Structures are given as C-alpha cells and as structure tokens.
Structure 1
Amino acid sequence: MMDPQIERKLIEIMRVIHESDKPIGARAIADELNNRGYDIGERAVRYHLRILDERGFTRKHGYAGRTLTELGESEMHDALIGDRFGFVISRIEEMAFRTTYNPETNKGDVVVNVSYFDKDDFETVIDVLSYTANSGYTISSRVKIFEEETDTEISLPPGKIGIATVCSVTFDGLMLKAGIPVEPAYGGVMQIENNAPDRFLDLISYSGTSIDPIKVFMTRKPTSVLEVLEHGNGKILANMRQVNSSAYDRVKEIIEKAEKAGLKGCLPPGDVDEFLYGAPVEIGKFGIAVVGGINGICALEETGIEIVTDPISTVLEYSSMSEL
C-alpha cells in the first residue's frame, strides 16, 4: 500500500487538474499546490504525475499539460472521502481570496458559476436569464458567454455554449478584503411569501458534506423560481453565512455599497445570537442570507432546458461581463 501522504498529494494534484479549464503542466500545478499550503516542487509534481499516468488517471497532451481521464474523474470523486469533508468550505475560502472586485470602481475579479447548454437553446436561455436578472433573486444582471469558435478561457463540450453568472461567494470576497472573516454555514431552499423571504425549508451544513449543498439541491430540482417571479410565492436557493458580532455595522456598509454598484441578493443581516429565517446561528455571531447566484439557471431548468452547472467555478473580471 502506498504512503497515505503520497495518496493525498495525488488526490490534490487531480483536484488541481480537474479545476483547470484546459490541460495544465507540472509547473502550474506546483504553483497552485503551494498556494494551497503544499510544500512541493515541480520535480516532485512530475514524479506524482507519472504515477497518475501509470494508473490511467491522467492523459498527457504534449507540452500543453495533462487532463483527467474518465477513470481519473471517478477516482477523484470516490477517493479519500474523509479528506473531502470540509473541501467545499476550502473551495469557498480560496475563491473568496481570489476576489478583487471593488464596488467603487465596479472593476476586479468576481466569482462565477459556469453553465453549459445546447446552442439551439441560446435564445431561450437569454430570455429567461433576462427575465430573472433584476428580480433581486440573483446576484447580478451581468453574464459572460463562451462560444466554441471564439473563446478559449474555458473548455466547451462539442455543440455547447457556456454562460458565466456571478456567484454569491463574491460577497465573501468583499468581506474578506475588508478584514472580516466569514464562515459559510448552510446552503438551502428558501420559501418566498408575498415577494419576501419567509424561512429556510431545507438546509445542508457546509462543514458536514463533501459535496456543494447548492449542487445537491439543484440535482433535486426543488425550486419554483418562475412562480416567485410571476406570483411572489415559491422556492429559491440561498446560502447562509455567519459573522462575528463585532463586524455588524461594517457588514451593513459593505452590503449597501455592493447593492449601489449592482450586486444584489445579499439580504439584511439578522440579529446577533438569533436564528435567521429558521436557521441556527452560533452565540456571539449573526447570520447573513444570500440568494443563490444560480437561481436564474434554476429557472431555466424549470422550463425544461437541459443545462449542466459548475458552481463556484472560477473568477472573471467583472468589467468583461455584459449586462443582459
């Protein structure tokens, strides 16, 4: 049996390859691993990559680097389940750290979700997302379209178009840049009554799962976003964060500045030591509910459009995104 420390490094290397939108080389992998706290050089990465090649988990694309094989993708998701507990929170923290958006200039990197759909559905996708854009149940009315013929920023399956929507983790980045630690607490389904948040119906703790809760709920298709838009009642996806009570006033200022700049969906903070829409809050902290950045995508799924989404996918320069 191989050393568990080596196995963990192999899995982490596979994660880095999986998260890359294109083939990635040993040097770039080593740089990313160092960013994640792994003290490993390019030569050591090459050694581990040879092991992955021999196992059939990676495929080499000349000097461009490597991608995961289908077997590698399966192994990455199945291996070291204990290691993957808390990985979702680590991913959120990493993407929040990479956020550079400044509401005052309306420029900088924001966190995005990337969804893929058939070219034939393009007009419907734009129509539905435009309908949901300024509802207050998404983060921003800006999107970025990726087409196979013109874009190389992400890898597109044949016959597909990609669309990036702003993710709620962008708010985590804004708080972090202001020196405010934010704890991802829950992802859930929120009931809307008379065009106002009423309560969380279902919650999954970020600290107790190896899978993004929002992705879990998307698979279950529990939303009725179109009903909310048309009648003011229904279900949307939302997240809850916890923040130390000492940052209460500063958090309100950040939310207000972001809203003036066009980033919406962050609901007013709850009271210190009080449940938020039925979700528990730790002593000495207060909760913040943020609508899911993919509620527009959920609305698309409700129309029957087949669409695959990768939440918390990457970061994009906000000024490169277009208003719907």
Structure 2
Amino acid sequence: MEIPMGNNAEEYPPTVIEILRSLYFSEDPLTSVELKEQLDKRGFSIDDRTVRYHLSNLEKEGLITRFGRKGVMLTVEGSEEARAIFVFDRIGLSSMETEMLIMKSDLDPCSNKGKVIVNITSVPEELKDEALSLLAEVSESNVIVSPLVAVLPQGKRIWNYRVPEGRCAILCLSSANYDVALRRCGVYVETVATGLFRLQGYKGKGFVDVISHSGTTLSPGELLIRGGFTDVMSAVRTGKGCVTAAIKTFPSFMYEKVVEAIKDCKNDNISGLFELGYLMPPKYQMSIKDRTRGYMLIFGGANYLAPLVECGITDALSIASGLYDIEDMRLPKEIQ
C-alpha cells in the first residue's frame, strides 16, 4: 500500500503557521491585536481583519478555543497539531520550548519565590490518595530535585497541557530549574545527556545507559521512565535500583561562579545535585568539546513521578512542560 507523504506545515499558509507558533509558545490567551503585533515583529504585515479570518478558520477546524475578550488558546488537538508542525524547532540540546520556559521563569531560589519549571503527570481521580501516599515516601529521598508537588483538577490548563477529564494532574520540579538559577548568574548551562544512574547500598555506582539530548525531540528522562527502565521505588526503599540523572555542562572558567551560585540557592526545597567538577572526566564526555567544560550531575526531577508509572497508576508523563508558582506547592502529606 502506498502511503502519501506530506508535511503538516505545508497545509497552512505562512501567516497561519506564525499564528499557531505564537499560540503554542504562549502561556495565556492572545487577542487578535496581540497576534497582529507578534506577526508584525516577524515581518508579516497583515490587518486585524485577516487575523480574525484565520482565527475563525482555526476555530472551525477545532484547533483553537475562545475565551471572550481575553483572546484564544490552542485546544488539545491544536497543541498536537502545533507540536507536529514545529517538530524540528524542538530538536536538540536546548529546544525552543525549553528556552521559552527558562526565559519566562522568575524563580529566586534564595527566597523560594517565583515560577518554576515543572514536570507533569496525571492520575485517575480515584487513585489520587494512593499516588500522594507513594509520593510522600519518595519525598524523603535524595534522588529528586524537590519534595514539593502541586495537584490540579480536571480541566485546568498549564502552558499547553490541559488536565484530562476524570483525572488530576500532579506537578513536581524539573532539574531545568538549575538552568534558570545559573542563567540568572550569567552562566549558560547545557544538558547534554540523561541516563540511568545505578544505586547500590544508597551509594552511586555510575551510569549504565545514557541518551544524548542532541537530535531528539523526546525527553530522554521521559523515555527511560515510560519505557520501564527505572526502578526508583526500589532505590528509595532498599537503596538499590536505577534512577535518572542529567549531565549538564558549562564553561570551565565559570566554575567558581557556579560554586557560589549553588551555595546561594541551596535550601530544603531545591536539591538533587550530587557531583560538580571543573573539568568533565573522560567517562562522561559525549564529544571532544566536553574536554574543556565544567560539569554537574543532577538527579532527574521526574524521578519523583517515576514510581507512579512503575506501579501502574499512570503511564502519562511530560517533562519540563510548564511553569507554576513554587509558593503554591506543598509536601505530599500536606495535600488533601
């Protein structure tokens, strides 16, 4: 059987592509006036009526929904369509999505205030208590970035994610918040790989598998957890098991600044860093340029949610998928 080949982007005119791009990377609804302004910045000179015409067509196709005078947002179907259209924008060490979240996060680790980058899962409403009970156990371990979580009801939207009907969403901090904290200090960090890190006797034994972030649109941490390669619950309870960990690099001449920044932001709500060095040792190097770079190893923030996947409570997981106010997050045992 011959399958006709096509490209999602070819189905829409350039102006519509840019409208979808603006909506996909926006946390809030956008009006036709705001969309026109964004199109003007990108070199598309069209009037308000043309923007409204395109929005009307997108609404008929079920790709956007209106919020009165507040503007429009993508529907679930619209987000899926946009992800396909912008697939090549999402490839690499620091995708456009991740850069947007890092830029918009205003986390101040010293004061524990601001919006943090979060990982998201969803569980059936009737399994919420069981899920929180498991998370309460994991919250006391050292293989996570933060013990804080938040629970959102069905229908609630965060970035491009909408909580499915009959389920509640659970959020936890992503290791990308280290990128936010260091960027504030003028240090640009790259996450070059994520891998399975083996623990035995509650001590680290090193990586057993590694996936490079270069050339993929899927989060390696998400692949490892949803693929069934982790056993975080075993690591928490017995000290033996595989968890995810990220390898991040930075210019080695900024090592002292990184050390000072880490000292300043250390608190009970942000942790997970377990190795930091001036020069990356050969065993961690992914390419020749890594020989001159400093490095840090950080436990994956999604380790927190991994037991919910391992125990069959959910198979949903989305890493670094939105922003949420850290002041509205709590320990699992404090959530009703």
Q: Smaller-chain TM-score range?
A: 0.7 to 0.9
Report the more deviating stretch, 54-63 or 203-212: 54-63
Asked if the contact 2:117/2:320 (under 8 Å) is kept, the reply is yes
- State the alpha-carbon separation in 2 of the partners of residues 15 and 316 from structure 1: 22
Shift of 1:253: 2.5
1:226 corresponds, among 227, 233, 246, to 233
Q: Name stretches of at least 5 consecutive residues in structure 2 with no aligned partner.
A: 1-6
Does residue 198 (structure 1) correspond to residue 205 (structure 2)? The answer is yes
Residues 258-315 of structure 1 show CA distances to partners (whole Å, capped at 9, x for unaligned) of 3334311012213414236576671220221111111121111111112422211212
How far residue 243 of structure 1 moved from its aligned partner, in angstroms, is 0.6
Q: Which moved more, 1:252-261 or 1:21-30?
A: 21-30
Structure 2 counterpart of 1:111: 117
- Cα offset, 1:162, TM superposition: 1.3
Aligned to 2:153: 147
Say yes or no: does 1:321 pair with 2:329.
yes
Counterparts of residues 1-324 of structure 1 (less than 5 Å) = 10-11=16-17, 13-18=19-24, 24-27=30-33, 38=42, 43=47, 46=51, 49-50=54-55, 53=58, 56=61, 58-61=63-66, 63=68, 64-68=71-75, 70=77, 72-73=78-79, 75-79=81-85, 81-86=87-92, 89-148=95-154, 155-275=162-282, 282-324=290-332
Which amino acid counterpart does residue 310 of structure 1 have in structure 2?
S
Measured after TM superposition, the shift of residue 145 of structure 1 is 1.4
Sort the Cα spacing of 1:129 and 1:29 in 2 relative to 1 into closer, same or farther, 3 A.
Answer: farther
- How many equivalent residue pairs? 319
Query: Per-residue deviation at 1:161?
Result: 0.8
2:174/2:300 contact within 8 Å kept: yes
| Counterpart AA for 1:116 | S
1:87 shift after superposition: 8.0
CA contact (8 A) 1:167 1:293 kept: yes
8 Å Cα contact 2:247-2:297 kept in structure 1: yes
Q: Secondary structure at the match of 1:322?
A: coil
Partner SS for 2:267 = helix
In the superposition, the TM-score normalised over structure 1's length comes to: 0.83
Q: Which amino acid aligns with 2:311?
A: T
The alpha carbon displacement at 1:138 in A equals 1.0
C-alpha distance in structure 2 between counterparts of 1:156 and 1:229, whole Å = 28
The AA in structure 2 aligned to 1:314 is G
Distance 1:169 1:273, change over 3 A: closer
Structure 1: any 5+ residue segments left out of the alignment?
none
Contact 2:15 2:44 in 1 (8 A): no
CA contact (8 A) 1:22 1:67 kept: no
Over the aligned positions, Cα root-mean-square deviation in angstroms equals 3.4
Which is worse superposed, 22-31 or 242-251?
22-31
In structure 1, what is the Cα distance between the partners aligned to 2:309 and 2:8? 44
TM-score where L is the length of structure 2 = 0.80
Task: Indicate the larger mover: 106-115 or 121-130.
Answer: 106-115
